[in-house]
Amino acid sequence: MDEKKWQAEKFEANRPHLRAVAYRMLGSRTEAEDAVQETWLRLVRSDTSEIENLSGWLTTVTARICLDLLRSRKSRREEPLTIHVPEPMVVHEAGNGTDPEQDAVLADSVGLALLVVLEKLNPAERLAFVLHDMFDVSFDDIAPILGRTTVATRQLASRARRRVQDTPSTTEADLSRQRHVVDAFFTASRGGDLQALLAVLDPEAVFRPDAVAARMGAAGEIRGRMDVAKTFQGRARGARLAVINGAVGAIVVIGGQLRIALRCALNADGMITVIDAMADPEELRKLEIVLIET
């Protein structure tokens, strides 16, 4: 068989696994697809006669690419208010060049709650945890990717495991409930639908902008369902749903820069009780954010 054809067949056979690895590493469908494509490009430039275990080689290459992306992402985050917002898997309709069945498998296996927890790990911890705990890759094979000893790699995975287990995480059901309410609120806000806004606000709802948000045009503290609803009526056009410090809210990103975070608190009845508008750069830098693609 022609070598290029053989490479293509073997790569396609491994593609679902590589997508799964990359998605868990990066938390972004787009970046995962890019990482897998880069793995293919490296494969076609390589001498496969030197590769004994092609599946293992492909996994290693994908992991290295993802690690580089995570480190680059971390470096960018150190720049003022530059933000990476990973997105949970969105299941697409057939006919757009994606595989809906594979998307559904990933969406079911990597929920938003897990993405939120994984975002707390540093790049080395995330790689060690994902490859070993989720894909059963040996520490001996992971260690060279990280440039560490097997013992050090095992310790990384153990530390990551403890952080994941010790992190109070909102359940997928809770996040889904929050998302439904907050999405309804901001959809109504953009559309100027006062009644729809009132429907999801608690009677004693409070809107609290920080000093920077107030200087940007937000009113001071506002109390009461009607007044809060009128404040948001026809606004929030640039707001995008996101998990902010473990709860669903919204953010405004302009030119790759995080400008405003809107944190929402819900009561037991699923009504919004508090909306905090944060625009202070120092406070924004402290937030843990995972974008929700819709």
**Contact between residue 88 and residue 175 where contact means Cβ atoms under 8 Å apart:** no
Q: What is the pLDDT of residue 165?
A: 80
Quick: pLDDT tens for 274-287.
999 999 998 888 88
Q: Which residues contact 146 (CB under 8 A, 6 or more apart)?
A: 67, 124, 127, 128, 152, 153, 156
Q: Where are the domains of the chain?
A: 1-90+100-164, 170-289
Catalogue the E-assigned strands of 145-200: none
Catalogue the E-assigned strands of 246-288: 247-254, 257-266, 272-278
Q: What is the pLDDT of residue 168?
A: 61
Q: What is the pLDDT of residue 99?
A: 53
- Read out DSSP for 23-74? HHHHS-HHHHHHHHHHHHHHHHTS-GGG-S-HHHHHHHHHHHHHHHHHHHHH
Q: What is 170-289's CATH number?
A: 3.10.450.50
pTM for the full predicted model:
0.64
Q: What is the pLDDT of residue 258?
A: 87
Tokens representing residue 164 in the block? 């994941």
Domain 1-90+100-164 has CATH 1.20.140: yes
Per the DSSP assignment, residues forming a β-bridge with 289 are 244
Tokens representing residue 159 in the block? 């530390």
- Compute the distance between CA of residue 287 and CA of residue 259 in angstroms, rounded to an integer: 12
- Compute the distance between CA of residue 201 and CA of residue 196 in angstroms, rounded to an integer: 9
Of 80, 85, 86, 76, residue with least CA distance to 280: 80
Q: What is the pLDDT of residue 167?
A: 65
Tokens representing residue 124 in the block? 């080395």
Amino acid identity for residue 147 in this structure: G
- Read out DSSP for 67-134? HHHHHHHHHHHTSTTB--------PPPTTSSS-HHHHHHHHHHS-HHHHHHHTTS-HHHHHHHIIIII
Amino acid identity for residue 69 in this structure: L
Q: Which residues of the chain have pLDDT under 50?
A: 78-84, 86-98, 100-101, 103-109
- Compute the distance between CA of residue 292 and CA of residue 176 in angstroms, rounded to an integer: 11
Q: How many residues does the chain have?
A: 294
Q: What is the pLDDT of residue 291?
A: 79
**Contact between residue 84 and residue 72 where contact means Cβ atoms under 8 Å apart:** no
Strand 272-278 relative to strand 240-244, pairing: unpaired
